[in-house]
Structures are given as structure tokens and as C-alpha cells.
Amino acid sequence: MPTRPVLMWVLVLVSLSGLSCRVGLDLKRLGRRLLWFGLLVGVTGIGLSGHVDWERRMMELWLRGTASFWTSLLLTGSYTREELLRGLRRLPLPPLAVDLVAFWQRYSVVLAEEWQRLALAHRARTVHWTRVGEFRLMLFSLGILFIRAYERAERVHRSMLARGYKGR
């Protein structure tokens, strides 16, 4: 891998770390999120192992992904939801894309609360925990969460249409 692009990415990551400190982000929380993201990219990169020059591709995937994810964490940590949406509306983006982002921001809280309710219900019913059992339970809960979220999204969409929603 050439030296110049590596130095550029090191500069980008150092700049992001400086900005994170200046904005006052919780560095411990940021580090945990970046660690999980790095693990996800690593698992994704396993698919590249058979390709020619896979080490370079994996490094590029990790660097670009980390910089993008870190930038999104920096933006969401330093601006309110309303400020972010106002900024997105000023960009030349399709209005439907901005509406989807706004809907996701509102709905992510509902998903997190539903996940907590599912976890509490499963903990209350389970006496003995094993690692395999925890993993199976997590997969089962994700399936239930997906079904509940889909049904709720259908109800929300129908109520929006009933109130005259026409894409704006």
C-alpha cells in the first residue's frame, strides 16, 4: 500500500479525534462504538480474503468506514436533531430521503424501548443463562423486534395517509 494515502487517512483520523475532544464527546462511549464498528468491518472483510490484494482492500474498507462512522457520530453528538434535519433540507437531497431520516430519528427511540421491554421479559422468564442460550435469545428477540417494528410501521403509515400525508 502506498505511503501517501496511509498518511492522509492517519491525518483524517487524528483530525477527527481532535474534533471529538473539542466538541466534548464522551471518549469512552465513542471508543466502544468504534470498537464494535471495527469488529463489524472485520467480519465483513473476511469476504475479501480470497481476492487479489485483499490486505489493501481490507485496510481501505476499515479506514473509510471508520472515518465515515466517526464523522456521523461527531455530527450527531454536536448538533440537535432539528439542526441536522434543517441542514439536510438545505442540501440538494430528495425530500423523501430527508423525511426518511427524520422518521428514523423519531422511530429509533421506539425501537430501543421495545428492545428493552423484550429483554426485560426474557430475563424475567429465564432462570439459567448460558452463552449459547443468550445468543439464541438475542436472535429470537431480533426477529420479534423486526416483526413488531414492521407491523407498527404499517400502522403509522396508514395513519399518516389517513391524515393526508402525500410525501411531504
Q: DSSP string of 86-122? A: HHHHHSS--HHHHHHHHHHHHHHHHHHHHHHHHHHHH
1: which residues sit within 8 A by CB, 6+ positions away? 55, 56, 59
Cα–Cα distance between 26 and 59 in angstroms, integer?
Answer: 26
**Mean pLDDT value of segment 142-152:** 84
pLDDT of the residue at 8: 87
Residue 138 has pLDDT above 80, yes or no: no
pTM of the model: 0.61
User: Residue 70: which of 123, 94, 34, 104 has the closest Cα?
Assistant: 34
Residue 50 has pLDDT above 80, yes or no: no
pLDDT one-digit tens code per residue, 110-130:
888 888 888 888 778 776 667
Q: How confident is the model at residue 167 (pLDDT cuts 50, 70, 90)?
A: low
Residue 168 has pLDDT above 70, yes or no: no
Q: Average per-residue pLDDT in the chain?
A: 83
With a pLDDT cut of 90, the percent of the chain lying above it is 9
pLDDT of the residue at 143: 84
Residue 17, helix vs strand vs coil: helix
Residue 90 has pLDDT above 90, yes or no: yes
The 8-class DSSP code of residue 50 comes to: T
**Mean pLDDT value of segment 142-156:** 84
Evaluate whether 109 touches 82 at the Cβ level (below 8 Å).
no
